[in-house]
Structure 1
Amino acid sequence: MRLIEKVWFKQHKAKYVLVPLLLPLTLLFYLITTVRRLFFRLGFIKSVQLSKPVIVVGNIGIGGNGKTPMVLSLVKMLKALGFNPGVISRGYGGQAPYYPFLLDEHSTAEQAGDEPILIYQRCQVPLAVGSDRIASAQALIDKGCDVIISDDGLQHYRLQRDIELIIVDGNRLFGNGLLLPAGPLREGVSRLSEVDLVVVNGGQALDNSLHNALASCQEKTIAMSLLATDVVQLKTGKVLSVKALRDKSVNVNAAAGIGDPQRFFNTLSNLGFELDIQQGFVDHHSFCLDDFIHYDDNTPLLMTEKDAVKCRHFAQDNWWYLPVEASYSEEQQAQLLQLLTTKLKLD
């Protein structure tokens, strides 16, 4: 974890130096973002309403918090409701030959970024990447999509949206509660009260600290957990149950290039694995074989599905990834479905 992230999330002693130094920049960031949003509200900067509904899955902070599992879950729900959804993404880390870039079976993480490849391979729905989300969305509408899911883009106010979902990391919450760069937030916690649904990923969704932060929107807050039952071999696509792999080898190695690698390592421990080596990388890390030279090939290496899409072409026989699925209680699943049917005018 980088020093600045330790200051944001771990109350590192360096906060007494870094936070005061960064507060003037935080004030500037607040002024710029506040004026920018005000200009959108007053119409000085134009936003665009598309011909099809848009669902934004975003967050108010930086780093991973569970947006991708939420997007996968929404795709599944919308298909069940009879929609033909498409997904747009910034494509962070990718270098496509043109934009908007529509994915196909030959697209790579180097072109589109890791998360779009994961979503496309898992869901097989139209997906476009590019910094111009309106152009990406229109390209999908032209292909016949009748609802657009925006993976991130909560602060992309040029694109009007019909539904806003904010995903909150239930473990890290809002860090020190400050805006960038003194803290991890792109918008203040008050933004939560404006969205249609707040989804808390893991952690203690009902603890006091979270309730204090969500005091104004508890009635539209649901809990999401991530379920993992199988592992998949990178080279062959062979699927084993977690229990089957654990029975073969309780001791494993682990690597993760996500927003919070420790979350993945904790998941493996909770599944009953003993971690010999665990190494975290920065989010969207571009993996190469040299990153793994210190791992023992005889010990299974486990990674996230997001990381696996960048490692398949040099994967070793004993490398596995752990796909996860979003899970909700029956009551909260019904609340999410009710939101979709009401906002998309299905009821």
Structure 2
Amino acid sequence: MSGTRLPQTPAWWFDGSAPPLWARAVSTLYGAAVALRRWAYRRGLLRRHHPGVPVIVVGNLVAGGSGKTPLTVAVVERLRAAGWTPGVASRGYGRADASTPRWVEPGMDAASAGDEPLLIARATGAKVRVDRDRVVAARALAAAGCDIVVCDDGLQHYRLMRDVEIEVQDVRRRYGNSLLLPAGPLREPLERAADCALRVVNLGVADAATSDAAQMTGEWPMRLGIGDVRPLLGGRGLPLAAFAGQRVHAVAGIGEPERFFAMLRGAGIAVVPHAFPDHHLYTPADFEFGSRLPILMTEKDAVKCAAFADAQTFMVPVEAVLPDAFWDALLERLPARDT
């Protein structure tokens, strides 16, 4: 098997073409439902709940990937460095038993934990709780000793009151055609972005000049720093440059696989792309590519593939890199920490 298996995002979301009439009609109904829900929360007809500790939500307005998980990991690590004891609340998309709340341990499998929560637990060592109800998850974290909660996604989960909202955008896709689902990629109207205290733009692997330009627009630039490529079976890591000039199978089951493929091409690697749906649960058959080449994949994919990886299977870790001033701005928006 080879090639792209990813269900196609509607072309009209990002290419400037007109959405079909049915999509516009459904978008109007969707927009009315979103507006009614927001009104109900603002008027107190639907209750909001606070877990008793500060809450930071990392989310986006656009359906699909934007780089929330690397930023969530970075936020957890910065909070810990500032003396907080952070925990992470997540719905845990892609879990086999999504209705069952649970603590995520680094040794768990992704089918039980969810790929992103498992990645966060392994990367940070923080307490991670998955639950469809983020209010309940946040309260469980607070009861377990966490003095601040970071939500991976959940910008639209209004039941959970939050102290700081961080919106993340992808620099290439932005808001697409700026229309609501399904006519466009927006989960909520564009004006919702003004409610977010901090707006981060994921530049991918970008240079400092591009980062400075992004900051001038009032948005905080986020670059992705590439770590050593690590074999899934364990062993010494290699710099990504070690694969330059080689042909590889590139595997990505993330919101925007092309971001990963472009990163590899930018390192001089000849990419045979294999895009899978976001949160895809892999089987050995998914890797029957018909040619024997090194396989490079994202960290999010790697947590689901170790059981059937071989010596030619590698993961490419990335970390979110933001200006020091961003972290100052985030910490300034938090209440004083209890000591």
How high is the TM-score relative to the length of structure 1?
0.89
1:284, CA displacement in angstroms?
Answer: 1.1
The aligned residue for residue 84 of structure 1 is 85
- How far off is 1:346 after superposition? 5.5
Partner of 1:244: 242
List alignment gaps of at least 5 residues for structure 2: 1-5, 205-209
How far 1:97 sits from its partner (Å)?
8.1
Q: Which runs of 5+ in 1 are unaligned?
A: 212-216
Distance 1:237 1:120, change over 3 A: farther
Q: 1:162 to 1:295 in 2, by over 3 A?
A: farther
Pair 1:9-2:14 in alignment:
yes
Match of 2:336 among 312, 320, 345: 345
> Which amino acid counterpart does residue 282 of structure 1 have in structure 2?
P
Pick aligned residue for 2:277 from 282, 300, 319: 282
Query: Whose helix fraction is larger, Structure 1's or Structure 2's?
Result: 1
* Residue 278 (structure 1) shift: 1.1
3-state SS of 1:91 partner: coil
Counterpart code for 1:180: L
Instruction: Measure how far apart 1:19 and its partner are.
Output: 2.8
> Partner of 1:158 in structure 2?
159
Identity %, equivalent residues? 39
Post-superposition shift, 1:340? 1.5
- Could you tell me which residue of structure 1 aligns to residue 3 of structure 2? none
Q: Is the 8 A contact 1:259 1:283 kept in 2?
A: yes
Report which stretch shifted further, 20-29 or 1-10: 1-10
Q: Secondary structure at the match of 2:126?
A: coil
2:276 corresponds to which letter in structure 1? F
Amino acid at match of 2:300: K
Query: Is 1:308 paired with 2:299?
Result: no
Aligned length: 328
Q: Tell me the amino acid that sits aligned with residue 251 of structure 2.
A: A
Q: How far off is 1:6 after superposition?
A: 2.2
Alpha-carbon separation, structure 1, partners of 2:252 and 2:94: 16
Tell me if structure 2 keeps the 8 A contact 1:96–1:112.
no
User: In the TM superposition, what whole-angstrom CA distance separates every residue of 1:214-235 from its partner, at most 9, and x where no partner exists?
Assistant: xxx944x211010113101011
User: Is 1:322 the equivalent of 2:321?
Assistant: no
Distance 1:310 1:339, change over 3 A: same
What is the SS of the residue equivalent to 1:343?
coil
Residue deviations 1:123-165 (CA, integer Å, cap 9, x gap): 1110000111011111111110000000000000000000000
Indicate the residue corresponding to 1:293 in structure 2.
288
What displacement does 1:286 show?
1.4
Distance 1:172 1:206 in 2: 19
- Provide TM-score, normalisation by structure 2: 0.91
Q: Deviations over 1:162-186 (max 9, x none)?
A: 0000000111111111100111100
Q: 1:68-217 to 2 correspondence within 5 Å?
A: 68-96=69-97, 99-202=100-203
